[in-house]
Structure 1
Amino acid sequence: MIYRGLVRRLGDNVDTDVMIAGRHLSLQSPAEMAKYMFEETDPEFIHRVQPGDIIVAGENFGSGSAREHAPLGFKALGISCIVAASFSRTFYRMCVDLGLPPITCADALKFADEGQQAVVDTKSGEICLGDHTLKALPLPEFIENLMRMGGLTNWVQQQLQSEQEA
């Protein structure tokens, strides 16, 4: 899968508590969650983001509380994928479950500028940031398939439906 979008640059150790504050965890609608992404640290973030944008971040992205609201909010904002030097294990898994491609690339943040055009190929692992082409870990084929289906939840629903029809 190939994603094209503008870079939304974030740093190291961006935790889910900063992505969306705990007082919003009672929200059920991803569209509502999206309204509060980074409201305390960067209230203009949601106004800069455009559908298709790509987050490029540093180490330990998604650490902190295990809140599914964060990747759901990113998806509702239209973020196409997240490239980070490393992810918290739980956040990575939530992204896969929800169909938001998490791409691991150690050097991406060094070459990423806010608002620059980026191209991410999840199958080959190639990331283009301006004049720089980087090599990331490609997504395994089974995760690629989950991303095409919109995540693990959709895959499970399809499996259950197939079993009921059989």
Structure 2
Amino acid sequence: MPTGAIFKFHNDLDTDQIIGSQYLLLPDLEEMKVHTFESLDPDFPKKVKAGDYVVGGENFGCGSSREQAPGVLKALGVEAVIAKSFARIFFRNAINIGLPVIVCKELPDDVNTGDVMELSLSEGIVKAKGKEYSCTKLPEYMQNILNQGGLIASLNKEE
């Protein structure tokens, strides 16, 4: 199970807080990613490491439908986003680009930024602070899509 640090955020975190609209004019995700969570934690892009996790509360990724929001998280190497619930369009965009998004009702209340966790996508289990949490287990077909880099990559391989 991949182990990584947690970066915890609040309920109703919207896509503008993930990546501000003024940065959507930049040419690509590589240039955008240095502005991820800029209004909440300007040093986030410097602190997050590949394999780390973003944890949120209810309605994570609400707001606009921009696919750059999950895109910058993936570009920074975030292993997965775990939240109590997701805005529907953020969830779909994340799966489309291959960023795992997992619903876990209890975990966000028990952890803080800097805690370490492990995630087993195939089992739907998170381990953190000596406790095991049962999370939504993605169906096998969705796990296959993620393993191929997302829906877009999966569809491109079928052509």
TM-score calculated relative to the size of structure 2: 0.96
2:141 is matched with 142
Contact in 2 for aligned 1:84/1:105 (Cα 8 Å): yes
Structure 2: gaps of 5 or more residues: none
Alignment of 1:144-159 (within 5 A): 144-159=143-158
Q: Which one is further off, 18-27 or 77-86?
A: 18-27
Q: 1:24 matched to which residue of 2?
A: 23
Contact 1:9/1:55 (CA < 8 Å) preserved in 2?
A: yes
- Residues in 2 aligned to 1:125 and 1:157: alpha-carbon distance in whole angstroms: 27
Match of 2:14 in 1: 15
Q: CA deviation at 1:39?
A: 1.4
Q: Which amino acid aligns with 1:44?
A: D
Q: Which residue identity is paired with 1:4?
A: T
Deviation per CA, 1:32-51, whole angstroms, max 9, x where unpaired?
Answer: 11111111222111121111
Shift of 1:75: 0.7
User: Structure 1: where are the runs of 5+ without partners?
Assistant: 161-166
For the pair shown, the structure with the greater C-alpha radius of gyration is 1
SS at match of 1:96: helix
Query: 1:28 and 1:88 mapped to 2: Cα distance?
Result: 26
Tell me, what secondary structure is at the counterpart of 1:35?
helix
Q: Conserved in 2, the CA contact under 8 Å of 1:111 and 1:132?
A: no
> In 1, Cα distance between the equivalents of 2:40 and 2:51?
22
TM-score (norm 1): 0.92
Determine the structure 2 residue equivalent to 1:64: 63
Structure 1 SS opposite 2:35: coil
Task: Report the identity percentage.
Answer: 33
Q: SS where residue 137 of structure 1 aligns?
A: coil
Compute the RMSD of aligned alpha carbons: 1.0
**Equivalent runs, 1:1-166 vs 2, <5 Å:** 2-160=1-159
